[in-house]
Every structure is written in C-alpha cells, then in structure tokens.
Amino acid sequence: MLTSKVFIKKTRLGGVMKIVREHYLRDDISCGSLACTEDCEPMDKEPLEENPISDSKLVPEPHYLVPDTNVVLHQIDILEDPSVKNVIILQTVLDEIRHRSAPVYKRVKDILGNSQKHFYTYCNEFNMHTYVERKPGESANDRNDRAIRQAVAWYAKHLNKGGVQVVLLSNDADNRKKAVAENLIAYTIHDYVRSLSNLSLIDLLANPLNQSTLDGTNKVLFAEHLGLVEIQKGIRSGKYLQGTLLISRENYLEANVSVKDRDHMVFVQGLHSLNRAVNDDIVAIEMLPESEWSCPSSLVLTEDNGKDDEDEENRALLDNESLIKNKVPKELRQPTGRVVGIIKRNWRQYCGILQPSILKERTRHLFVPAEKRIPKIRIDTRQAETLASKRIIVAIDSWPRNSRYPLGHFVRCLGGVGDKDTENEVLLLEHDVPHSNFSEAVLSFLPKMPWTISEDDLKRRRDLRHLDICSVDPPGCTDIDDALHCRPLKNGNFEVGVHIADVSHFIRPGNALDQEAANRGTTVYLTDKRIDMVPDLLSSNLCSLRSGVNRFAFSVLWEITPAADIISTDFTKSIIDSKASLTYAEAQLKIDDPNSNDSLTQSLRGLNTLAKILKKKRLDNGALSLASTEVRFHVDSETNDPIDVQTKVLRDTNSMVEEFMLLANIAVAEKILNEFPDNALLRRHPPPPATNFDPLIKAAASKGFKIDVTSGKGLADSLDRAVVPENPYFNTMLRIVTTRCMMQAVYFCSGMLQPADYLHYGLATPIYTHFTSPIRRYSDIIAHRLLAVSIGADASYSELLDKTKIQSLCNNLNYRHKMAQYAGRASVNLHTHLFFKTRIQDEEGHVLFVRKNALQVLISKYGLEGTVFLNDDNQKSSSLFVYDEEMNTQSAGDVTIHVFDPVIVQLSIDRSNVQHMKLSLKLVRPVIPGFSVPSVNELSTKGTTPAPASGPVKKKRKV
C-alpha cells in the first residue's frame, strides 16, 4: 500500500527550524464518483452522482465543479445553496481554508456532511498521481494552484470514459490561463454562476475585492492597514496593542478596545481612527499622544437615514468628524488610540433591512443592520423592490479603502418586517440561538418507536411504580422533568422523593444527539415559541414524566423528620408511574380542599408542610428572596397577536416544588463534588461587590430605610424590614432593584476554583448545581451522568473526567444561557410592541430610578419597564426639571418626583424607526403643565376579549 516517500521541509516563523516529515503517497484513494470507469477503490457510497445535471450555458455537458481556495473562502454562500451539487473539494483547498478561516472551514465541513449536496473531499496530497512537489523558487500559493490543476487534470482523464467533465472554478486569471493551456475547463465563479438558469444565485455572489477600485475616481478615505508581520513586530516591541473592538451602543463612531493585561479599555473615536474595523474584530491599535486623547461624547449618534449618494456619504463623514472634534477638558481625557490593522475579522451574517433607494433601478443598495453597532453595508441586488419591506441577511465581503461602507452580498430573505415569524427569526439569529431543525444524524440516535421497557431495564432500576408520585407544573406544560412524592414512614418520619426525567439514559455521551444538545445548551423560551434542546420525541414524550405511563427517572429519596431535618439521602435510577400531572392551581386546590383526603392529596399536604419549614430554614440562613416580574401574553388564536398581558401569580405550590428542587440540587451537588472533586459541574453565584449596591442604598434611603449589604443575611433581613404600609408595591420594587445589583450565576468546573468560591450567594448555600431539569438544560445532563457514575449506575467516559473539557462546556452553557435570557427578554419586548401596536393606553406605574434626564418607570401590570425622557426635543422642557443628585429627585415647579413614587404614564409605540420600534412613555400624572399629556379615554381602546390560545409554557423557576 505504501508506494513512495518524500520529504517535506518546512520552516516556521520564530526560529527557523528544519522539519522533516514523512509523506506517504498512495494509489488506493477513490475518486468518489459513481461515473468512474477505472478500478478505483470502492467506497460505501460514492458521494458524486453518476449523471450530474447542469443547466449551465457555459458547460452543457454533465460535470463536477472543483473550486479553488479563494472561491470557497469568498463564495461559500453559493456553495451552500441547495442547487449547487457535485462539487469536489480538494484536500489542498480544505487545508488552506482551515488555516485561513475557521468559520468557513466549519461551513464547508457541514456541507461535506450533508448527503444531499453530493460534495466530496479528494485527498489529492496523498495520491501518487496528483501530488506535486514544490519547485525551487516557487511560492506556496503557486504550488497549491499547480496541485489543484494537477488534480483537475487527473480527474478529467480519470472520468473521461465516464462522460463527466471537470470544471475548475478560479477567480485567479493567471491560474485560469495556465489551466486552459493544459486543456482544462476553467471559469471564474462569476461567469459560471451567471450562466446558470437559477438567477437568484447571482445575488449571493460576493463582491470581488477589486471591483470598486476599478472606478478609479474615488478618493481614498482610510489609511492602509498594516500587514500581519508588521503588526506582530509592533506588538512584540510594545508599539501596538492587540484587543477586541467593542463599538459603543450609543454612538457608532466611538469604540472601546479591551486590551489583554490592561485594566482600562482603550478608547477609539471617529471613522478614521476606527479605520474600517467592525464590532468584535480583533485589531491592532496604536496609542495617540496624550494631547490628542479624547473622551466619549454624550451625544447619541446613529447613522442618519436616507443619504445614499456617494458624495453625500463623504460629506456626512466629514460632518460627523467635526461633530466630535471638540476640545476635551484634561480631566475627562481617556487613553485614546487608533486602529492600525486588523488581526482577525469576526464578521458574521447580519440581519437587517434594505434602505429605500432613491432610484428604483439601481442595483447598488445600502443595507441597515438591526444591530446598531454594525455599519451599513453596501450590496448589489436586482431584487431591491421585492426586498424593500423584508428582513434580510447580508454578509460582509470586504471593506476597501475608498469606500465609506463595507461591501457585502445578499444571503437570504427572512420575511416581511413586522411579521411575527420573521421577527422571531431575527431575534434568534441576533442572539445566536441554534434553532434549525434537528439533522438526520441527530435524529438517528433517538430510540425507535414504539419504545418499550425491557427486562434488563427493570433489573437495573428500582421499581417505584407503586408510589403516589405526581408532577406539578404550569398549565400547558409538555416537558415535565420533575415529579414528587411523600409518604409517612412507620417511625413517624417522612420519605420524600424527587424524581427527575432520566434524559441521560436516552442521550449517550459523544453521539450526534449529545453534541447537538451540548451545543444548544438550553431550551429557549420565546413568548410564543419554544426552541427545544432535544428533539420533541424526548422532550415531550419519552422523557416527559406524564401521568399514567411508565417512565424512567433518576430519583433522590430522603428520610425527613417532621421538623424537616434530613436523616438520610439516597440516589437511584428508577421506574415511576406518575399518578397525576397537576398544574400549580390544581395542586393548590387539592391541598386547600378539606373534603379531599385521598393518598395523593395527603402526599401533597405533607410536601407542602415540609416545604414551608425548609423555606423558613433557608431564609433564616440568609437566602435572598428576590423579585422579578414575569409576564404572560394572551394570544389571539387566529392572528396570533397578543391581546392581553398578565403577570404571573405565585402560589404556595410554586414555592413547594421549588423548595424540593433546591434540596435535590444541593444534595446532588454535595454527592458529585465528593466523588469528583476535580471535575464536578457546579453552579455558583458570586457575591456582588459592595459598590453594586449603591443604587439600592440610595433608593431605600429616600424612604428612610437603611439596607445592610455586608452579608446576604443582613441584606435579606433589611429587605424584609423595608415595608411602607401605604405603598404595598414598595417592597417588591426594592427587591427588583436588588436583583439588578446581583452578579450572574454561572456554571463552572469544580477543579478550576477554590472551594471558597463555590458559594451560591442568592441561595445562601456553599455549593449548588443544576440537576432537576435535564430536558431543558444540558448542565443537568452532565450532573446526571456524574451522579450515575458515582452510584455505579453508568460508565464514565473520558470527556466527563477531563476538567478542561468540562470547563469549556461550562463556558458554552453560560454563553447560551445568557443569550437565551436576552432572547426571551427581546421576545417579550417584541410582543409588547405588537400589543401596543394598535392601542394607546394609560397605566399606573412606579418610578424605579431617577436619572439625570429621565425617569425609569416600572408598569407593574405588564411587568414592563420604560423610560420617560424629561428633555424631549419637541417639548423643549429640559429647563422645566431640576435634578437633585443628593436627594435623587426631579422637580418641576411645585411637583417633586422621588424614587418609587406612583405615576400614571401613557404607553404608545414610537414608529419613527422601522427597525427599532420603541415603546414610548409619556407622563400623565402628576400633572406638570407643559410636559404631561392629557389622559386618553381608555374605555374606547381597551379590547378585553378573553384569550383562548396561549404560548408555550415557560418552565423556568427561580432555582
């Protein structure tokens, strides 16, 4: 099999080394084509079709495509299009892509994995017929081009009898010329795509880099970027700094660069200084002399609409520059720098809309991204008219020096603006939530239906089907992952069990299903949609602990005294048969109903009594009970538009379930940490730094309360004391403010931190993990696996024991959780907007914060927070209000507004910006002449038809 051997010499940067590696050339590599007439090594399934259909006018014969590296790198959107099939990706090309762009590499690999696309990787470097040795004096690129041509020539000869042509796609004129000289078929991707009958592909073409330089007349707007070598040299010598560019949310001309090993961010201001860097890029910056340092201007600048002419662009550029070139007082100056080069672009695809163009027939258009921190993008499209009111996705290709805006190309259309599905899609894309359907590979790991319990399963699991187990969840919940039971024991104690869906039984480590779930990290709940972490069959059926069916569970069983002291804890895999799936309300009714005395109700009562004692103990221990508002939209069943909003009601039973989930989580955390001190997946909530509490202390002081923030216990106690009888909502609001002061709770791997840092501040427990919701959280699956190994119920695997792997998993989970949270909030916002689209309404609210130029108002009915701007441009009333920093009040005339004061505000939608519709709040009461607006007649607008349909149930508890 081994035919020949050659040496490759490589030198690496930084110390020249001669590296000698063996390189075996083989003759047993298959061409991967069904049309093959030679005796190639047979494969399981040749990916390339025997009769590739093509409608290209340039190549009417059936043919395969061989793109070169640059074509794949820049035109990946074309290759991803479903109509492009039968492509050979050469190993040379794949290796080069791997070095040059990780995201493109990932996308190519995804295409290669899709059997519908008929893509094939040909290992030309290992084949004795297609391997070429680098000639003396030949550059690496030239060698690779030659290798590609050699492979194409081999294929052409190889498939000659099979009647299939091979077409080289390359935008390098020199390469094409040489290929034609060798009697190969070669075209540019642009020519090839234009010759296809599928015209929509043309829009997907990325702009070639040199297109706009052809104009010649354009003057250069930006300084040239430095080369990578120069940058590296500069960074080593300290002349330049490396960091990630973060554009300010308020002003698109300002950015901060977070530089490694430095406490302070470096400030970058102005288009020229930013020098074509886009948000998230890794850039090299040079510090400016101190005399040129600047500070963020308080201006809120967004790119102005409408101007599309090139001339105007340039003027706007200068105008904006002059706006911010004002003298800055010395004490405000911040370290300021300018971008000299880009180390790594972090461009992704952006959602947004097309800016209406003055000339309808123009093909060059400006695209406005939804994300304010991304510049507008210039694209070429012929479909401008159809795309006018659509949400579209665009990718950036390049940003030449003479262009005000980056150049990009159209990727796909999501749907109409304001359409709910489209807006949901935008929301998911912008928050990086993986939401595509589960792939074939993932689904192939699902258990085959009908699913039955085997003898073997029965032997391995404890049979708990005789117990009166029930689940308590919000109404309409289909992914039930926990169930409970409680029964008295002979010695007067209780046996309490928490039964969690045994998801890890179905999701085996390492397979595609597991990888997909690990990547998704969590189920995302939008107001009207649920994006599952695991396929529906598992989440709503096999894993869901529904009543009346046998289900696998992972059970935690305690023996608890009537005083709620835990005597023993036991973990076991089990089979359960839930007797009832109750809602919180139903469970509450059962407990409260004196006539009901069946064993299930007894069980619930027992749980409820124990939960109350447990809760008291926990709160005495210093656990915080914080408030946040959650709302639920009632949705019209036909139009799916929200018609009413209500905040969630909390019952005893909510807290009952919560209490036992906490208990189970803590018990599991202790157990797995004990067994795996190095690699247990835990959750911690760091105590917030004291300065975080300043707004809280200030706010409480305004009503004469003192808040003790030195410890969790002190905080909890002082919050309990802060009650104003005449304003029952005061305490809740104080708790909402407290929530804002908190840090984020995060997952971590125990081996990475000191045990003292494991603390969960909010729950006041030294150690915590997530165990109780494996259907919707991946962290819980890991906790399940760890626990299963520690009780000997399952085998371990290497990734589970590797603390760096667990930590990197945690990092992904934390990111996904944060994004899921943001997406959820954005979804509520979206629905609020839809809700108020047709109405203007007066609502009662409370002032949450008093700011220099605004009031932040919380509308308790909708759990909604909005801002009342006090210096509205139109009303010219900025002078009306006087801000008192000391007392934290705003006063106008004889009216003074304190924090937590009740106000009445008018809600409506501000449509001045199509992309970012804003909820606008106007003050109604207290009446301030010249500022407040008259109240609307509510009765005429308020439509309160009861709503039948409602969205998916959000299962999130505070635990």
Partner 1 sequence: MAGMELLSDQGFRTDGRKPNELRRIRFKKGVFKQADGSAYLEQGNTKVLAAVYGPHEIRGGKGKALHDQLLINCQYSMATFSTQDRKRRPRGDRKSLEMTAHLKQTFNAVILTELYPKVQLDIYVEVLQSDGGNYCASVNAATLALIDAGIPMKDYVIACSGSYIRDTPVVDINNLEESSAGAEIIMAILPRCEQIVFIEMNSRLHEDHLSPVMDQVMTGCKDIFNILNQQVRDELCKKSAQDRIVDSG
The least CB distance from residue 21 to partner 1, in Å, is: 6
**Among 1, 229, 300, 449, interactor with partner 1 by CB under 8 A:** 1
**Among 18, 135, 260, 459, interactor with partner 1 by CB under 8 A:** 18
Place of tokens 């094939």: 120
**Among 38, 41, 55, 102, interactor with partner 1 by CB under 8 A:** 102
Question: Residue 272 in contact with residue 404, Cβ under 8 Å?
Answer: no
**Among 34, 58, 59, 123, interactor with partner 1 by CB under 8 A:** 123
| 7 or 451: CB nearest partner 1 | 7
Residue 640 to residue 649: CA distance in whole angstroms? 23
For every residue of 895-938, DSSP letters joined together read: EEE-TT-EEEEEEEEE-SSSSS-EEEEEEEES--TTTS-PPP-H
- 126 sits near partner 1 (criterion: CB under 8 A): yes
- 125 sits near partner 1 (criterion: CB under 8 A): yes
**Among 9, 10, 19, 332, interactor with partner 1 by CB under 8 A:** 19
Task: Kindly report the number of other CB atoms within 10 A of residue 331's CB atom.
Answer: 6
Judged by CB under 8 A, which stretch of 123-131, 381-389, 470-478, 846-854 contacts partner 1? Answer: 123-131
| Site track 21-60 with partner 1 (rule: CB under 8 A), x = hit | xxxxxx----------------------------------
**Among 40, 59, 98, 570, interactor with partner 1 by CB under 8 A:** 98
Question: Inter-axis angle of helices 652-675 and 599-620, to 10 degrees?
Answer: 70
- 13 sits near partner 1 (criterion: CB under 8 A): no
What are the tokens at 870?
């006090």
For every residue of 401-451, DSSP letters joined together read: TT-SS-EEEEEEEEEETT-HHHHHHHHHHHTT---SPPPHHHHTTSPPSSP
| 33 or 544: CB nearest partner 1 | 33
- 796 sits near partner 1 (criterion: CB under 8 A): yes
- 20 sits near partner 1 (criterion: CB under 8 A): yes
Q: Under rule CB under 8 A, which residues in 509-528 are in contact with partner 1? A: 510
For every residue of 459-501, DSSP letters joined together read: HHSEE-TTS--EEEE-TT-----EEEEEEE-TTS-EEEEEEEE
Closest CA to 35 of 141, 162, 138: 162
| 26 or 956: CB nearest partner 1 | 26
What are the tokens at 326?
């004002």
Instruction: Tell which phi-psi region holds residue 69, choosing left (phi > 0), alpha (psi between -120 and 50) or beta.
Output: alpha
The least CB distance from residue 22 to partner 1, in Å, is: 5
- 797 sits near partner 1 (criterion: CB under 8 A): yes
Place of tokens 């500070």: 295
Judged by CB under 8 A, which stretch of 118-126, 480-488, 558-566, 716-724 contacts partner 1? Answer: 118-126
Cα separation of the two ends of the chain: 60
- 104 sits near partner 1 (criterion: CB under 8 A): no
| 798 or 940: CB nearest partner 1 | 798
| 110 or 720: CB nearest partner 1 | 110
- 99 sits near partner 1 (criterion: CB under 8 A): yes
Strand-strand pairing, 889-892 and 882-884:
antiparallel
**Helices and strands, counts by H and E, the chain:** 27, 39
| 25 or 295: CB nearest partner 1 | 25
The least CB distance from residue 514 to partner 1, in Å, is: 13
Q: Under rule CB under 8 A, which residues in 483-512 are in contact with partner 1? A: 510
The least CB distance from residue 511 to partner 1, in Å, is: 11
- 91 sits near partner 1 (criterion: CB under 8 A): yes
Strand-strand pairing, 364-369 and 336-344:
unpaired
Q: Under rule CB under 8 A, which residues in 176-215 are in contact with partner 1? A: none
Element (H, E) at 677: none
Give the CA angle between residues 65, 68, 70 to the nearest 5°.
Answer: 130
Judged by CB under 8 A, which stretch of 119-127, 574-582, 669-677, 850-858 contacts partner 1? Answer: 119-127
Task: Kindly report the number of other CB atoms within 10 A of residue 114's CB atom.
Answer: 16
- 228 sits near partner 1 (criterion: CB under 8 A): no
Look at residue 611 and give its three-state secondary structure: helix
Question: Residue 72 in contact with residue 93, Cβ under 8 Å?
Answer: yes
| 101 or 383: CB nearest partner 1 | 101
- 129 sits near partner 1 (criterion: CB under 8 A): no
Question: Residue 268 in contact with residue 256, Cβ under 8 Å?
Answer: yes
| 122 or 881: CB nearest partner 1 | 122
**Among 690, 753, 795, 949, interactor with partner 1 by CB under 8 A:** 795
Judged by CB under 8 A, which stretch of 99-107, 237-245, 593-601, 667-675 contacts partner 1? Answer: 99-107
**Among 34, 40, 49, 121, interactor with partner 1 by CB under 8 A:** 121
Question: Residue 213 in contact with residue 73, Cβ under 8 Å?
Answer: no
Cis peptide before 67 (omega within 30 of 0): no
**Among 221, 223, 512, 801, interactor with partner 1 by CB under 8 A:** 801
| 110 or 309: CB nearest partner 1 | 110
Bridge-partner residues for 497, per DSSP? 485, 557
Question: Residue 296 in contact with residue 426, Cβ under 8 Å?
Answer: no
Q: Which residues bind partner 1 (CB under 8 A)?
A: 1-2, 5, 17-26, 91, 98-99, 102, 105, 109, 112, 121, 123, 125-126, 510, 795-798, 801
